Amino acid sequence: MAEHDDSKRWQAVGLHKAGMRTDDIAKQIGVDRVTVYRWINKFKLTGCVTDLPRAGRPSSMTRGMKRAILRFAIGKRHRSTRSIAAHMQLQDGIGNGAPSRETVRRVLCAAGAQPFHLSVVPRITSAQQKRRLAFAAKYCNEDWTRVVFSDEKLFRLYARPNNKNDVVWAYDISQVPGHEVAQGGPQLFVWAGISSHGLTSLRIIAGSLTAATYQQILADTLLPSTQEWYPDGNWLLQQDGASPHTAQSTIRWIVQNGIHCIPPADWPPASPDLNPIENVWGWVQAKLQCTRVRTTNGLITVLRGIWHSVPQTMIQNLIASVPSRLAAVRKAKGAALKHY
């Protein structure tokens, strides 16, 4: 920032005392309004306008170096402050004058950037985008407090790899790319449902999920909860297009038991970002990461405990966000949402 002599500072104070607005003072004396505001505030607090001597050595950070840091960091993967500082150290003409990690952090924050971890987003085809847009248009006025969102979830016994260093500095989370999740390893398969009135019990699925197993889950776990939440029977079941959900025997069972569903043909594929229960699964996963589980039985016990501690206010807020998610889908022309 350019230095200004005291005469210009006193001129700004004098114009302020004469009743001139800060913006007009800035235009008249040729400096920005923030600088004028700072001078006037300093005078009010101390009675003078002269800056005190600065402690420490002057900053060696040039505008060119700041631009280089932003070009190298913004929107790119694996850009921790350590790696950015190391990159700057290797640039010609910088050498020992390269910024430290803390300096890099200050430059990025001053530019309005924030450090984000990668979000997991599904790959969506053009046909799936059309399905998402059609769903968003058709259900924009739905009463989502009458909907029970359901899903299966795979929990693993091993911890996810540490992605601490996989940081993306960006101005907004929409600039952060997604990444794919590794598969494989020991696992525990569960089913559950949520609504604005509560959550079902967590059902452990032994082996693969068949149509018969799914129907038994609905009978034993879903129906008792919905009879309590919606005694008038006015509710909708949300389920994705998994084959046990859409099997002919499951459809017949659902009709025979008087359950109304969002039609499988309506619910768009590759759309976990539209289902609030996915956010609940994420909350449970985060809690699970803070525990030490060594056995399958231990995992079952811990998962059930975490599940029943899910705050109902969080579920209600997530379900209340569905209309805004649908609006975001329309705005994104059917693309995946990164911040839900």
Instruction: Please report whether residue 146 resides in a domain.
Output: yes
Domain co-membership, 30 together with 77: no
The tens digit of pLDDT for each residue in 288-325 reads 877 877 788 888 999 999 999 999 999 999 999 999 99
Domain co-membership, 229 together with 325: yes
Instruction: Please report whether residue 327 resides in a domain.
Output: yes
Domain co-membership, 98 together with 196: no
Domain co-membership, 106 together with 20: no
Instruction: Please report whether residue 297 resides in a domain.
Output: yes
Q: How many domains does the chain divide into? A: 3
Mean pLDDT across the stretch 156-161?
57
pLDDT grade for 162, boundaries at 50, 70 and 90: very low
Domain hosting 135: range is 126-164+182-331
Percent of the chain with pLDDT over 70: 83
Domain co-membership, 144 together with 14: no
Instruction: Please report whether residue 79 resides in a domain.
Output: yes
Mean pLDDT across the stretch 221-235?
97
Domain co-membership, 186 together with 282: yes
Residue 55, pLDDT > 70, answer: no
Domain co-membership, 68 together with 201: no
Domain co-membership, 195 together with 275: yes
Q: Convert the chain into a string of H (helix), E (strand) and C (coil).
A: CCCCCHHHHHHHHHHHHCCCCHHHHHHHHCCCHHHHHHHHHHHHHHCCCCCCCCCCCCCCCCHHHHHHHHHHHECCCCCCHHHHHHHHHCCCCCHHHCCCHHHHHHHHHHCCCEEEECECCCCCCHHHHHHHHHHHHHCCCCCHHHEEEEEEEEEECCCCCCCCCCEEEECCHHHCCECCCCCCCCEEEEEEEEECCEECCCEEECCCCCHHHHHHHHHHHHHHHHHHHCCCCCCEEECCCCHHHHCHHHHHHHHHCCCCECCCCCCCCCCHHHCHHHHHHHHHHHHHHCCCCCCHHHHHHHHHHHHCCCCHHHHHHHHHCHHHHHHHHHHCCCCCCCCC
So what's the pLDDT on residue 158? 57
Confirm whether pTM is higher than 0.85. Answer: no
The tens digit of pLDDT for each residue in 264-282 reads 889 999 899 999 999 999 8
For residue 227, the domain's CATH number is 3.30.420.10
pLDDT grade for 119, boundaries at 50, 70 and 90: low
Domain co-membership, 21 together with 151: no
Instruction: Please report whether residue 121 resides in a domain.
Output: no
Instruction: Please report whether residue 325 resides in a domain.
Output: yes
Domain co-membership, 193 together with 323: yes
